[in-house]
Amino acid sequence: MDRPEDNIWMHCSSSSVRRASRQLSQLYDDIIGGIGLRGTQFSLLTQILYGNEPTQKSLAEAMVMDLSALGHTLKPLIRDGLVELVPDEKDRRAKRVRLTDVGSALQADLVEKWREAQSRFDAVLGIEKSEELRRTLAFISSAEFAQAFEKTGKTGD
């Protein structure tokens, strides 16, 4: 006998997004893998590249991570010579994250594998649905969404 709580995860947005994220991570990692980096690390390298040597703080915000999680994720990339931390020229207390030449080359090589994964995703879901999903997820990961979410939880709203 089905009870409503048996399928509660089907009605929980957070659980659904996490399950989908784990599945996609595994599928993309299978394509990107073989070089010792996971999809999350590829995403981080790409964000560093397009962030134009972001500060650790701005990189953490862009990745929707706290600073300690970012530090943990950066450690193996630094150890392997893909990323380096350099003092900010204007504020020596702030650290900027920079790709090394090795990191830049690896990121560029991985783009082709990522494109294959992305092409498969678009083929299965359809380009229009894929684009709509990315727009929706971008909104959900925005500060605007977080603020609206918090605001709706306050009494009187």
Looking at residue 103, its pLDDT comes to 95
Residue at 114 is within a domain: yes
Looking at residue 79, its pLDDT comes to 96
Looking at residue 9, its pLDDT comes to 65
Which of the residue ranges 28-37, 83-92, 96-105 would you say has the lowest mean pLDDT?
A: 28-37
Looking at residue 50, its pLDDT comes to 92
Q: Averaged over 144-156, what is the pLDDT?
A: 85
Range of the domain at 54: 7-140
* Higher local confidence (pLDDT), 6 or 13: 13
Residue at 29 is within a domain: yes
Looking at residue 40, its pLDDT comes to 82
Instruction: Give the model confidence (pLDDT) of 95-127 as tens digits.
Output: 999 999 999 999 998 999 999 999 999 999 999
Residue at 154 is within a domain: no
Residue at 115 is within a domain: yes
- For the stretch 100-136, what's the b/e string if a residue is b when 16 or more beta carbons lie within 10 angstroms of its beta carbon? eeebeebbeebeebbeebeeebeeeeeeeeeeeeeee
Looking up residue 76, the CATH number of its domain turns out to be: 1.10.10.10
Residue at 151 is within a domain: no
- State which amino acid sits at residue 105: A
* Higher local confidence (pLDDT), 109 or 5: 109
Residue at 150 is within a domain: no
In the chain, the number of structural domains is 1
pLDDT at 156 exceeding the cut of 60: no
Instruction: Give the model confidence (pLDDT) of 44-54 as tens digits.
Output: 999 999 988 99
pTM over 0.85: no
pLDDT at 149 exceeding the cut of 70: yes
Residue at 49 is within a domain: yes
Residue at 152 is within a domain: no
Name the average pLDDT for the chain: 89
